[in-house]
């Protein structure tokens, strides 16, 4: 698991960035990108080990993009590596658990309105995105509040895969990427080679930094703008 904001392969410009697997084009210039920055970001952390860096990225968002309103959700598997109380303290608002009420032993889980979650954000960052999440999302699963919302939203969805050794070359992962090409509002930030916590070697595929994913989402929004759909209707 590499440190946040670092890569063992150099700068972001050396990587293909995608709307899934394709160059996004020239994108907007610095002024244009600022005007396209999302006012409302939903940050979704799944059960990859690097979700432990979410506190770092929340502080980065607060400093680098103070005018963006941020909401955070995590999966139950993510809670093995980062705690909702810690994230709530940093964020200053409740962190959501991607589970329907009554499906966990935690009786305090609030009701999540998947329709509101689909309509509220102007951008969604899935960082990190584990292989299990990528497969379920690509196959159209909607059995949790966040998956339901992501299947229905018209907001730009940026996905930063974090994969174990061998997964990036697997037929399953490649099939999932191919399936995600059907979504015009989804982009993938290709993972970077990095250290595996299991093997101790540089044979894992670590999530691209959130700062890179942010830039890709802004470029993608500029290509899709103006988006039509529920994410931009009555979302204020």
* pLDDT tens string 144-190: 999 999 999 999 999 999 998 888 999 999 999 999 999 999 999 99
Q: Please, what are the domains in the chain?
A: 12-232 (3.40.50.1950)
pLDDT at 129: 98
pLDDT at 187: 97
Cα dihedral 118, 27, 161, 228 in deg (nearest 10): 20
DSSP reduced 3-state for 173 = helix
pLDDT at 116: 94
Q: For residue 214, what pLDDT is reported?
A: 97
Q: Contact 158/187 with Cβ under 8 angstroms? A: yes
Exposure letters 111-138 (e unless 16+ CB within 10 A, then b): ebebeebbbbbbbbbbbbbbbebbebbb
Dihedral sign from CA coordinates of 159, 94, 53, 48: negative
What pLDDT shows up at residue 227? 45
Tens-place pLDDT, residues 37-85: 899 999 999 999 999 999 999 999 999 999 999 999 999 999 999 999 9
pLDDT digits 0-9 by tens, 83-98 = 999 999 999 999 999 9
Residue 203: which of 1, 6, 66, 15 has the closest Cα?
1
**74: nearest Cα among 49, 40, 105, 43:** 43
Confidence band of 16 (pLDDT split at 50, 70, 90): very low
DSSP letter for 101, please.
T
Indicate if the pLDDT at residue 20 is higher than 70: no
């Amino acid at each position: 698991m590499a440190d946040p904001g670092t890569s063992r392969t150099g700068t972001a410009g050396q990587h293909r960035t995608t709307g899934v697997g394709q160059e996004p084009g020239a994108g907007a210039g610095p002024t244009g990108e600022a005007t396209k920055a999302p006012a409302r970001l939903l940050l979704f952390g799944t059960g990859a080990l690097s979700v432990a860096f979410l506190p770092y990225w929340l502080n980065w968002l607060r400093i680098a993009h103070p005018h963006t309103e941020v909401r955070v959700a995590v999966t139950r598997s993510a809670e093995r590596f980062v705690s909702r109380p810690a994230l709530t303290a940093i964020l200053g608002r409740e962190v959501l658990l991607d589970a329907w009420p009554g499906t966990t032993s935690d009786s305090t889980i609030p009701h999540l309105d998947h329709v509101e979650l689909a309509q509220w954000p102007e951008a969604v960052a899935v960082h990190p995105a584990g292989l299990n999440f990528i497969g379920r999302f690509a196959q159209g699963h909607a059995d949790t509040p966040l998956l339901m919302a992501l299947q229905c939203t018209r907001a730009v969805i940026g996905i930063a895969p974090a994969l174990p050794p061998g997964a990036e070359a697997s037929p399953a992962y490649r099939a999932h990427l191919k399936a995600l090409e059907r979504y015009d509002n989804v982009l993938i930030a290709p993972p970077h080679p990095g250290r595996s916590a299991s093997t101790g070697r540089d044979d894992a595929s670590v999530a691209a930094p959130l700062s890179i994913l942010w830039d890709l989402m802004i470029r993608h929004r500029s290509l899709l703008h103006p988006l039509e759909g529920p994410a931009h209707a009555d979302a204020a």
